Chains A and B, each alone.
Chain A
């Protein structure tokens, strides 16, 4: 049902010409200050390809929403440029940018029916009645709300409102859609359902999407690339798996997924590895990712699922091996979380699949744990 819409979109893309797919949207050295004292966005650079799904992820106040608002035209950059399809758009008012946007609370016009809401962007483009009706019906079909055109937004559930908002942002066939925490108001199940829905539509239409969220799971599930924001600066811009597997600094490591931290000092570097003496005295071999030279402090980051309970002979796979004491065992059905005391860290988490053969642990029990040095990343302090 969406083939024709998709086709039209591609036609549109071919008509305008001079940009290449690689620099569909560009932020160049963008800075933003509201009060002239403090920068909320500090030198933001980002290139987005046509058809990409990019998520701006970060805690609240990190500047991600401000970037989105500058893209939409509701905020003006204090410095720097934003290019859309190669053209600077700093001085273009929002209604001339042709960017679709989904707002946090959907911003559906409460006094209009669903169909009227969807018709609004077509009406302001002076589209014919018949054409408008055709596109509205198609957009409703796309979000599977064919029979809801006559309802008022208040008569819909949260998930349905969300779909209408999405349909409204897409109905006038923008090439770029911005989403500002669109799923924040939904409960968990609905949120997951909508994530797939958005993903599906994105794949179907090939539209470029910039998505803002503070929910890392959401970001990991949906995005082609994720820009992790903190304190007005992009900490890392990478694909989800890279972010998770290879965080470049302590903030990203902490923010994305669960993480065991050990603190210490670099004592020796060996190729891409380094020896780190922990504050508790033990020495750990780790992969030097962002650690400084000998004598600098570092944070070791270790994913809980990469730690194993070891016994008997030394195993080459685990070139780090330490005694541990079980503090707490939490049963989570498909897996078990075990809180350990390792190397002076009482909050050390061990995640083990609930598979056959795993001995059950009891609090107070002494065991040995081990991990591969390639899984243990020495990051900035």
Chain B
């Protein structure tokens, strides 16, 4: 085209070509957007909103600032050196009186009890008698419960008066704020989360490794067997998918428990003595065995889909070039399956980090995951902020893991089916 760049091209009716093109493209873009909008809406409601809600809950801290609003206001400017004065106690009495009438002190007392055991009963006892409390409030409140006479109590209230807090995250990594406001480790006898995080990660890694070890030959068989046999094998691989997770897990209990099938067979065969039955369940071994089995298809299928695309001529070529079978496998076949290994690996690893039913059923004490602790905080202790903080950390780890994976392997190289 010899047209000079300064003269814009136009269509037949004189509209500049660029404008016309943009118009045509925009129309198809709008159409495409309208077509996917139900899905986007669904994703927003079912996927993004819960995550946002979780992240929000992990830092949300409304209890003290709203329910002790007068106390917090009166505490402003308090130096923390000595007990606050009468106006602060009077404000507290007013806050508690109002809260008792509205019957909404529960969340406040739970919140403060997370930070300082005993605050729940301190608040509930004080609130129950608040109707009869006479000035001077400082003396009468301390008389009801001497916790009000402790400097730490007031420092805690002052500290937790912010609408957002990091204390859930600190608790999730076995840290806490000291009364003076520094981040310190919790005493050893209260440390649970960090070791659970590590256990979750290394056991997930072991499970991923085992599924690879078991799944690789199976996937290879699937690609190399004649169609008739490989179909049968594929059905066997998929069969667990069609069985309920609970059934699969409880089946392992029946097999592995000390009075279970496997031990019975071993005793009957004389391999082990009746008194020395193997403890294979309600510990780490139980979790690893059951989860390896349950997650195996997630390793086999990506491996299979990658292996399927490797033409047999590669290995033939390698042999014709003089490579011995094992060398050919190591230098030619194995490197070509790495995208499958990576896809299966990331899938199994992320899934196992998030598993909680199976570890809860067969993991006993030592085979438990951090996810079981999330469930505990959701359902039993009702410390949803802490549950959200732990879950957010887990989410963060998964994202980091995924990004590292993307950098090293490239997500676009992954084939899942």
Contacts and interface: CB of A to CB of B under 8 A. Distances in A.
Instruction: Check whether chain A touches chain B (CB < 8 angstroms).
Output: yes
B323 A107 contact: no
Given A110-B336, A120-B331, A124-B327, A105 B321 contact: no
B323 A111 contact: no
A121 B318 CA distance: 8
A104 B314 CA distance: 11
Contact of B322 (A108, A109, A121, A178): A121
B316 to A, nearest CB: 6
Given A110-B336, A111-B335, A120-B331, A72 B313 contact: no
Contact of B336 (A104, A105, A111, A178): A111
Greatest chain A CB density within 10 A among B322, B324, B325 is at B322
A377 interface: no
Contacts of A98: 322
Interface in A69-119: 72-74, 93-101, 103-105, 107-111
Interface in A51-72: 72
Interface in B322-351: 322-325, 327-328, 331-332, 335-336
B350 to A, nearest CB: 26
A94 B320 contact: yes
Interface in B284-330: 311, 313-314, 316-325, 327-328
A72 B319 CA distance: 10
B48 to A, nearest CB: 37
Contact of A124 (B311, B313, B317, B322): B322
Contacts of B319: 73-74, 93-95
A103 B324 contact: no
A74 B323 contact: no
A103 B322 contact: no
A90 to B, nearest CB: 16
A188 interface: no
A111 B330 CA distance: 12
A104 B313 contact: yes
A169 B322 CA distance: 11
B256 to A, nearest CB: 41
Nearest to B333: A109
Contacts of A107: 311, 313-314, 316-317
A94 B327 CA distance: 14
Interface string B227-251: 0000000000000000000000000
Contacts of A168: 317, 321
Contact of B323 (A104, A105, A108, A124): A124
A172 interface: yes
A97 B316 CA distance: 13
A225 B311 CA distance: 31
B313 A103 contact: yes
Contacts, number: 67
The interface centre, meaning the residue of B311, B325, B331, B335 with most chain A CB atoms within 10 A of its CB, is: B331
A168 B313 CA distance: 14
A95 B323 contact: yes
A101 B336 contact: no
Nearest to B325: A95
Interface in A113-145: 120-121, 124-125
A105 B311 contact: yes
Contacts of A96: 322
Contacts of A104: 313
A65 to B, nearest CB: 12
B316 A103 contact: yes
B316 A74 contact: yes
A177 to B, nearest CB: 10
A172 B336 contact: no
Nearest to B313: A107
A98 B319 CA distance: 10
Contacts of A93: 319
Contacts of A95: 319-325, 328
Contacts of B335: 111
Contacts of B336: 109-111
Nearest to B314: A107
A168 B316 CA distance: 13
A124 B316 contact: no
A100 B320 contact: yes
Contacts of B316: 72, 74, 94, 101, 103, 107
Contacts of A111: 335-336
Contacts of B321: 95, 100, 120-121, 124, 168-169, 172
Contacts of A105: 311, 313
B320 A124 contact: no
Nearest to A118: B321
Nearest to A180: B313
A172 B311 contact: no
Greatest chain B CB density within 10 A among A94, A105, A125, A168 is at: A94
A70 to B, nearest CB: 13
A252 B268 CA distance: 73
Contacts of B332: 109
A33 B158 CA distance: 89
A29 to B, nearest CB: 25
A170 to B, nearest CB: 11
Contacts of B327: 124
A74 to B, nearest CB: 6
A95 B319 CA distance: 5
A120 B323 contact: yes
B209 to A, nearest CB: 23
Contacts of B313: 103-105, 107
A184 to B, nearest CB: 13
A127 to B, nearest CB: 11
Nearest to B327: A124
A110 B316 CA distance: 14
A72 B320 contact: yes
A72 B316 CA distance: 9
B314 A125 contact: no
Most interface-central of A72, A104, A109, A168 (chain B CB within 10 A):
A109
A103 B317 contact: yes
A4 to B, nearest CB: 22
Interface in B171-200: none
19 contacts: A72-B320, A93-B319, A94-B320, A95-B319, A95-B321, A95-B323, A95-B324, A95-B328, A97-B320, A100-B321, A105-B311, A107-B316, A108-B317, A109-B332, A111-B336, A120-B323, A124-B323, A124-B324, A172-B321
Interface of B: 311, 313-314, 316-325, 327-328, 331-332, 335-336
Given A109-B314, A110-B336, 13 more contacts: A95-B320, A95-B324, A95-B328, A99-B320, A105-B313, A107-B311, A107-B313, A107-B316, A108-B317, A109-B317, A109-B332, A120-B331, A124-B322
Interface pairs A-B: 10 shortest CB-CB: A121-B321, A107-B317, A107-B313, A101-B320, A94-B319, A124-B323, A103-B313, A95-B319, A111-B335, A124-B322
